[in-house]
Amino acid sequence: MADKTQKPVLLTMKDIRIEGRSDETWSEIIKGVDLTLHKGEVLGLIGESGAGKSTLGLAAMGFTRDGCRISGGTIDFDGIDLRSASESQRRGLRGKRIAYVAQSAAASFNPAHRLIDQYSEAPVQHGVMGRAEAERDAVELYRRMQLPNPGDIGFRYPHQVSGGQLQRAMTAMAMACRPDLIIFDEPTTALDVTTQIEVLAAIRDIVAQFDTAAIYITHDLAVVAQMADRIKVLLRGVEVEEADTRTMLSSPKEDYTKSLWAVRSLARPAQPAVRDAVPVVSVQGVTAGYGSTDVLKNVGFDIHKRRTVAVVGESGSGKSTTARVITGLLPPRQGRVLFDGQPLPADYRQRTRDQLRQAQMIYQMADTALNPKLRLRELIGRPAQMYLGLRGKALETRIKDLLTLIELEPAKYIDRLPSELSGGQKQRIGIARALAAEPKFIICDEVTSALDQLVAEGILKLLDRLQSEFDLAYMFITHDLATVKAIADEVVVMQNGRVVEQGEKDEMFHPPHDPYTELLLSSVPEMDPDWLTRLLEERAAKKA
């Protein structure tokens, strides 16, 4: 990559302070951040949730969301002071010279209008070109974004187009007025890994072709490594450090950045395989679905004591449906589930209390998995009271023990409501609730995917510790292969309701593979800035 810092400066933000309002009081979200961007340069903005990435990105357009305000600093865009400019002046820049690409294209396209109408809105309203010209231009950009049927796709409504295609159409829309700057706000976060590759490649190409400057916001280090010339790391509204991409990846200076880098390499040695013993859970030839369609087709695998089986696949592959069959929420059409060698009744309502106790579940969204109106005492205490008959003092002691186990101070937390906890703490409560039943088997459904990397790491370590302490068997549903590396002993790869490959983890990460596993594995971004280029070349070579 050529050094773009030699080019003229496009955007300068100095000592930016942004406040957000909650309960009638204003508090700072961005606490004095500087940012400089040169023409044609791509700056990666990374940080965990709450770091203020999006807020800062939007401020580069002189825009704040409702309930936020810019309280200090200067924003200079190509000689225009965005803070003192009038609202109509700022409006004149937005969409024309500074464009925005949102996280969820499906939600950010207006469902009532066709794609091409939304494409031509900015150029026509800003007086850049006429309607007919804009439509011709749209087709050209759709072609460059490698959308299928570029001539027709614009005449569809958003709900008629897939997520990956919409995200590319949105990038094309942002390009409509050939802006000087585009803010990409987590454009691939909502996509599956295999779809993500195409979108990343398309975005990178078009930005390079038009020499557009960009601010690329993401929480995924490997993604930003592919896209950015420079990387800036944010933590709770403050800049941690900034450097060009290669320097940042090879030698981060700050401890926080180093810890982010370290999470990516978390891995544990697999437990030795068990062959003879009776598995704790055995899923046998399960076919299940809703209505007339089969979501699962002949799915089978075993889970042994003290072992973690990771079930991997993209959205719609049937991972969660498998969990619903095991828990008895969705009785299968064919096949059965054995527990300790005994068949479980298909419907949870027919299971005994002890059968229910033995298999517990931890959910992806701790927010919806914990009743917001109950205190931790009851949330954790209820299973212990119900299954183990604990009362009074014994129950209290048990709840406190459980809180200690998940590393929360009992006296401080026992009477809190879920809303008074952080995301990671909530997830720990979900774990404690499962443990309270003293189960043999726990299903973990994407338990770390809603969490920031560092917090997720803590949860994974906790789960690991608890497993050896209580001899638990885990079924770990995830779409993230880094998590698989970190926790699994055995891997089951699912696609379209079928198991395409299964085996020990160490075997799974070495070829030869089933073609789908191959695609899935190769699509996971790596921390190497040349990874995407190399991958695309390899794939092109294979095709040819």
Partner 1 sequence: MSFLIALFWIAVAIAGALTAGWLFLKIAASVTRGGTARALRSAPVTAGFGMLVILLYILVALLAPVIAPYAEREVVGAQFLPWDSTHLLGTDNLGRDMFTRLVYGARNTVGIAFLTTALAFSIGSILGLLAATVGGWMDQVLSRIVDILMAIPSLIFSLLLLTIFGTSVVTLILVIATIDSTRVFRLARSVALNIVVMDYIEAAKLRGEGLWRLITREILPNALAPLVAEFGLRFCFVFLMISALSFLGVGIQPPTADWGSMVKDNAALITFGDVTPLLPAGAIALLTVAVNFVVDWMLHRASGLKE
Partner 2 sequence: MSIIWSMISKRLALGLLTLFVISIIIFGATELLPGDLAKNILGQSATPETVAAFRKELGLDLPAHTRYINWLLGALHGDFGTSLANKRPIADLIATRLSNTLFLALYAAAIAIPLSLTLGILAALYRNSIFDRAANAMALTSISFPEFFVAYILIFVLAQSGWFPSMARMDASTTFTEALYRTFLPALTLTLVVTAHMMRMTRAALINLLASPYIEMARLKGMSPARVILKHALPNALAPIITVVALNLAYLITGVVVVEAVFVYPGLGQLMVDSVSKRDFPVVQAVALIFAAAYVLLNLTADVLSTLSNPRLIHRK
**Dihedrals phi, psi of 282, to nearest 5 degrees:** -135, 115
45 in Cβ contact with 183 (< 8 Å): no
Query: At its nearest, how many Å lie between partner 2 and the CB of residue 47?
Result: 21
**For residues 152 and 506, which CB has a smaller minimum distance to partner 2 in the complex?**
152
DSSP string, 365-424: -HHHHS-TTS-HHHHHHHHHHHHH---HHHHHHHHHHHHHHTT--HHHHTT--GGGS-HH
Mapped onto helix, strand or coil, the DSSP state of residue 239 is: strand
Query: Would you count residue 141 as binding partner 2 (CB under 8 A)?
Result: no
Q: What is the 3-state secondary structure (H, E, C) of 161-212?
A: CCHHHHHHHHHHHHHCCCCCEEEEECCCCCCCHHHHHHHHHHHHHHHHHCCC
Q: How far is the CB of 343 from partner 1 (least distance, A)?
A: 18
- Shortest spacing between CB 94 and partner 2, in angstroms: 4
Task: Decide if 327 contacts 359 (C-beta within 8 A).
Answer: yes
Q: Which does 96 bind (CB under 5 to 8 A by kind): partner 1, partner 2, none?
A: partner 2
User: Distance from CA of residue 29 to its chain's centroid?
Assistant: 22
Map residues 75-94 to x or -, x wherever contact with partner 2 holds by CB under 8 A. Answer: ---------------xxxxx
Which residue is listed with tokens 């298909």? 346
CB of 201 to partner 1, least distance (A): 36
Shortest Å distance, C-beta 380 to partner 1: 12
* The only residue of 246, 382, 461, 498 in contact with partner 1, by rule CB under 8 A: 382
Alpha-carbon distance of 436 to 447, in angstroms, equals 18
Q: Which of 437, 444, 482, 487 binds partner 1 (CB under 8 A)?
A: 437
Quick check: 38 and 8 in contact, CB under 8 A? yes
Q: Which of 108, 327, 355, 449 binds partner 2 (CB under 8 A)?
A: 108
If one asks whether residue 24 binds partner 1 (CB under 8 A), the answer comes out as: yes
Compute the distance between CA of residue 155 and CA of residue 147 in angstroms, rounded to an integer.
Answer: 13
Residue closer to partner 2, measured from CB, 176 or 429: 176
**Binding residues among 385-424 for partner 1 as defined by CB under 8 A:** 386
The residue within the footprint of partner 2, chosen from 121, 367, 464, 507 (CB under 8 A), is: 121
Q: Which stretch binds partner 2 (CB under 8 A): 153-161, 333-341, 342-350, 483-491?
A: 153-161
Q: How far is CA 88 from CA 62, 133, 244, in A?
A: 11, 25, 36
Please, which residue, 311 or 323, has the CB nearer to partner 1? 323
β strands within 194-329, DSSP E: 213-218, 230-235, 238-244, 281-290, 293-303, 308-312
CB of 161 to partner 2, least distance (A): 9
160 is an interface residue for partner 2 by CB under 8 A: yes
Binding characters for partner 2, 33-72, by CB under 8 A (x = yes): -------------------------x--x-x-xx------
**DSSP conformation class of 159:** G
Residue 255 interacting partner from partner 1, partner 2, none (CB closer than 5 to 8 Å by kind): none
3-state secondary structure 460-503: HHHHHHHHHHHCCEEEEEECCHHHHHHHCCEEEEEECCEEEEEE
How far is Cα 501 from Cα 118, in angstroms, rounded to an integer?
43
Residue 433 or 479: which CB sits closer to partner 1? 433
Q: How far apart are CA 299 and CA 288, in angstroms?
A: 9
Q: State in angstroms the smallest separation of the CB of 366 from partner 1.
A: 9
- Give exposure, 111-120, as e/b (b: 16+ Cβ within 10 Å): eeebbbbbbb
126 binds partner 2 (CB under 8 A): yes
Closest CB to partner 1 among residues 38, 433: 433
The entry of partner 2, partner 1, none that residue 370 binds, CB within 5 to 8 Å by partner kind: partner 1
Selection from partner 2, partner 1, none that 222 binds (CB < 5 to 8 A by kind) is none
Indicate whether 374 belongs to the interface with partner 1 (CB under 8 A): yes
Minimum CB distance to partner 1 smaller for 348 or for 509: 348
Q: Which does 95 bind (CB under 5 to 8 A by kind): partner 2, partner 1, none?
A: partner 2
Residues in contact with 263: Cβ distance below 8 Å, sequence separation at least 6, in sequence order: 453, 454, 456, 457
Least separation in angstroms between residue 495's CB and partner 1 is 25
Window 334-373: contact mask with partner 1 (x via CB under 8 A): --------------x--x-x--x----x-x-x--xxxxxx
State the number of CA atoms in the 13 A half-sphere of 89 facing the CB. 9
Cα angle at 229 between 480 and 265, to 5 degrees?
30
Q: Which residues of this chain interact with partner 2, rule CB under 8 A?
A: 58, 61, 63, 65-66, 90-96, 99-100, 102-104, 107-113, 121-122, 125-126, 156-157, 159-160
Q: Which residues of this chain interact with partner 1, rule CB under 8 A?
A: 23-24, 327-329, 348, 351, 353, 356, 361, 363, 365, 368-374, 382-383, 386, 433, 437
